[in-house]
Amino acid sequence: MNKKIILFLVILLWIVLALAMIISKQSTFKTGKAVVLETVPVDPRDLLRGDYVVLRYKISTLDLNQIKSEKMDYRAGEAIYVKLEPKGKFWEPTAVQSKRSSDNGIYIRGKVRHTYSKQLTVIYGIESYFVPEGEGKELERNTRGSKSSVSVEAIVDSGGNALIKKVYIDKNR
Amino acid sequence: MIFGLVFWLVIIYFVVRWLSSRQKRNYGWLQREVPLWEQKNIINTEQGNSVLGLYKLKRIEPRGKMDMVKVLTLIGAIFIGVGVIFFVASNWQRIPAHVKTVLIMAVTIFTLYLGYFFSYEKQGFANLGNSLLLLASLFWGGTVALIGQIYNIPPSQNWLIMLIWAFPIVPIAIFFDNEYVHILASALFLIWNFLYTVNNSVANYYYPIIIFLFMLPTAKKLIISRRINIIGLVIASLYCCFYKYEWLALMVSAGLLVYYLIQKEEFVYLYAGCLSFIFWTITFFTVRETQPNFYFLIPMGIILYLTHKDRVRENLVMCLVGLLIWLNLSLYSFSQIFGYKFNIINFIVLQSLAGMVIYIIGIISKNREYAFFEIYKVFGYLVSFICTYLLSFQAMLELGVGERVNNVYFAGCLLLIAVMVLLVMEETTKGHFKNKAAYLELSALLAALLGNLILLTSPSLFTGTLAANAVLVIFAIINIFLGVELKASSVFTAGTGIFALFIITRYIDVGWRLKEKSLFFIVGGLIILSLGVFLEKQRRKVIERMRQDE
């Protein structure tokens, strides 16, 4: 095959792939709805890894005794949809199900990481927040101790995909 | 089981090291000498090729002078690429994210074009062109990482970043014949497979498919790239043992074997295939604990046949280890079926007997002038000796005290003894055991057999320890006599070595229990030093006498 054509095709492939990555994420921002999630204090040793911050949310651990669930036996690796509803300042989980309902509610898609005695540890793909080099220390300080003063505004689209829009640090807390 | 695996890994390490150092020394010498003989017109090129062909050796190409331009452009490209990736990682926010993305994408495409231009359009800048193509591939990685960073793609999805980085650079590696990019893509696929397996806990069947279909066929002349991909496949097979993906391990193993059949000149495929099949049988065991894997014997039979046919010495050790691992796993499965617990003494005695069977196969191979007889003999001897040495410790035997005999292993031992007897009888009827050396070897085997039988049947700790130690001493004495008989200094030296090891071990073994350790070690050290000097003097005298006799 002509090398020039290959060059052209490779350039095209790279541009298409880069655009596809950007468009898929941008469409979540465009079509999704904003929810504010409360983070929970994490062990500072695990918090900062290089230039990103590890975030844990209240919705990262789901107690099936307290939340409505269509079943009790979820497997590790299973995809789930968690219904979120605003309760005060933050959005909280109200139901867990394997498939998304057709109602107008906001459902965030997650993957079960561990299960332990009707408690699910779930990841939603919004557990990392990349920060400029050396600026993670403040976030680390604010999530240390018994109370966390960091909250996250995330965008959830109709498919349940979530992206972090903003991280808030409440310094007065 | 872990103990068993560690045991076999130690054995394989020593035997392969011994073999490869010996072989490399001899063959390397021949590879260097043949061109010299040709230069001096002692032989012509055809004869040189015949000599090398006899040992399946490749002609060593004269080393070209290092091309400084090539090295510098390559290092420059790597430095710039790494610098850009670091720039992305620093997440510098003075430039808006979308500007950064457009900027890096533009630089990437421009670099790719420059790489093409200097490789194919402008004459005489091929090295620069190749380095720029590598740089463009690194920039592409930077672009993907930047997009991942902007949208906070979590590290648990780094496998996706690796895949999006690796796949689109494959056309550059293949169609532009770029070795550097091929190596980069191979390494990225390897990392992708690791991250995918760890983060998703799902068997990654795509990895072997990509490697077998795209990377290996295009890496025929690229040794580093080929080796990275083969190592990647073996690692993929190794993961299967922990994640219980038996079909994936089988797929990788079969693929490697098929590749060896297609490209016979590359022995690495055979080593990798053999190792991968061993991982497969371990995975099979972890998945179905109570089902012995008899299917394993089919590929292992084929590999054993190919190893002999193509004279791949090192692989024979791997095959023997594989077969022994299989034997142990099968016996363990039968033990599970019949409800017997693992018994360490039964386990070690079985290995020792297996070693003896392998040694006898070595003797038979030598008598019939088959290839590799020395590997069978050394391997079998080492296995049997190490097992007996382990059993000579009272502490080791104490581990098995009060444990119920595992009848499955016991039956396995009896089966091995029966095989041994049949082999020796067959050889005796053909009149092969008629010289003094053969009698000495048979005596050592008989002593080891009796010792193992006592260990297997006697519940007494004292009798067991005595039997194992007696066998060790007999090994040492017979080695010394055999060395003199065969005029082989290595065998003689091994005998004195075993004797010295026996004395040192037993001295420490006993002395360790004494309260006054300092005096014990000082006196012991002096005695052992004197013994060492005495043995060395005797050894030199005997070897000198052997030389004079010759």
Residues B31 and B75 in one domain: no
B433 touches chain A (CB under 8 A): no
Contact criterion met (CB < 8 Å) for A15 and B105: yes
Residues B43 and B75 in one domain: no
* Cα distances (Å, whole numbers) of residue B340 to B283, B284, B415, B438: 22, 20, 18, 39
Residues of chain B found within 8 Å of residue A131, distances taken between Cβ atoms: 91
DSSP annotation string for chain A: --HHHHHHHHHHHHHHHHHHHHHHHHHHHHH-EEEEEEB----HHHHEETTEEE--BGGGEEETTTSEES-S-PPTT-EEEEEEEEETTEEEEEEEESS--SSSSEEEEEEEEEEETTEEEEE-S--EEE--TT-HHHHHHHT-SSS--EEEEEEE-TTS-EEEEEEEE-TT-
User: Coil, strand, or helix at residue B473?
Assistant: helix
| B99 in the same domain as B187 | yes
Asked if residue B162 is part of any domain, the answer here is: yes
**Tokens representing B70?**
């090539």
pLDDT at B319: 94
Residues B46 and B72 in one domain: no
Same domain assignment for residues A72 and A25: no
Spatial distance between the Cα atoms of A37 and A84, rounded to a whole number of angstroms: 10
Separation of alpha carbons A43 and A41, rounded Å: 7
Report pLDDT digits (tens) over A30-73: 888 889 888 876 654 444 444 678 888 989 999 988 888 888 88
pLDDT digits (tens, 9 = 90+) for B35-73: 888 877 788 888 888 888 777 677 766 555 556 777 777
Contacts of B187 (CB under 8 A, 6+ apart): B228
Task: Give chain A positions within 8 Å (CB) of B181.
Answer: none
**Which residue, of B155, B175, B198, is where some domain finishes?**
B198
Q: Which chain A residue's Cα is nearest to B155?
A: A128
Same domain, yes or no: A18 and A48? no
Both B80 and B191 in one domain: the answer is yes
* Cα separation, B427 vs B421, whole angstroms: 10
Which residues, at least 6 apart from B146, have a Cβ–Cβ distance to it below 8 Å?
A: B88, B100, B101, B104
Show residues of chain B in contact with A55, CB under 8 Å. none
d(CA B468, CA B389): 7
Residues A63 and A12 in one domain: no
Question: If DSSP codes are grouped into helix, strand and coil, which group holds residue B418?
Answer: helix
Q: Is the same domain home to B181 and B114? A: yes
Residue B321: inside a domain: no
Mutation test of the interface with chain B: which of A7, A46, A121, choosing the one with the most B Cβ atoms within 10 A? A7
pTM for this predicted structure: 0.78
Rounded Cα distance between A169 and A135, Å, is 13
Among candidates A3, A13, A126 on the partner chain, residue whose Cβ is nearest the Cβ of B152: A126
What range does the domain containing B141 cover?
A: 67-198
A132 within 8 A of A170, measured Cβ to Cβ: no
Q: Give mean pLDDT in consecutive 10-residue pieces for chain A, a chain of 173 residues.
A: 88 94 90 86 48 84 88 86 91 89 87 86 89 70 65 91 86 48
Residues A85 and A127 in one domain: yes
B 190-209 near A (Cβ less than 8 A): 200-202
Residue B30 belongs to some domain of the structure: yes
Are both A54 and A96 inside the same structural domain?
yes
On whether both B108 and B88 belong to a single domain, the answer is yes
Q: Which residues contact B336 (CB under 8 A, 6 or more apart)?
A: B289, B290
Residues B192 and B151 in one domain: yes
**CA-to-CA distance for B285 and B280, rounded, in angstroms?**
9
A97 and A147 part of one domain: yes
Q: Which long-range contacts (CB under 8 A, 24 or more apart) does B113-117 make?
A: B113/A7, B113/A11, B115/B176, B116/A3, B116/A4, B116/A7, B116/B176
Domain count, chain B: 2
Instruction: Answer yes or no: is B115 within a domain.
Output: yes
C-alpha to C-alpha distance for B183 and B200, rounded to whole angstroms: 26
The residue of chain A nearest to residue B140, with distances taken between CA atoms, is A14
For chain B, list residues with pLDDT below 50.
none
Shared domain check, A70 and A4: no
Same domain? For A146 and A112 the reply is yes
Q: Are B468 and B391 in contact (CB under 8 A)?
A: yes
Question: Does any domain span residue B221?
Answer: no
Whether B116 sits inside 8 A of A13 (CB atoms) is no
Q: Residues A44, A56: one domain?
A: yes
Q: Is residue B105 part of a domain?
A: yes
Burial B203-234 (b: 16+ CB within 10 A, else e): bbeebbebbbebbbebbeebeebbbbbbebbb
Contact A14 B116 (CB under 8 A): no
- Give the structural domain span for A57: 33-169
Instruction: Please name every residue paired with A49 in a beta bridge, in sequence order, or none if there are none.
Output: A52
CA dihedral A138, A143, A148, A152 (to 10 degrees): 70
The number of C-alpha atoms within 13 Å of B350 and in the hemisphere containing its C-beta is 27
Closest partner residue to A6 (CB to CB) among B156, B175, B202 is: B175
- Give residue A73's pLDDT: 84
How many structural domains are present in chain A? 2
Same domain? A5 vs A70 = no
Whether residues A43 and A105 share a domain: the answer is yes
- Verify that B43 and B111 share a domain, yes or no: no
**Distance, CA of A65 to CA of A62 (rounded, Å):** 9
Q: Is residue B264 part of a domain?
A: no
Q: B149 vs chain A: nearest CA distance in angstroms? A: 6
A3 and B109 within 8 Å at the Cβ level: the answer is no
Do B154 and A127 make contact, defined as CB atoms within 8 angstroms? yes
A14 with A78, same domain? no
| Mutate which: B151, B163, B204, vs A, most A CBs within 10 A | B151
Does one domain contain both B78 and B133? Answer: yes
- Please check whether residues B135 and B87 belong to one and the same domain: yes
Distance CA(B460)–CA(B274), nearest Å, equals: 41
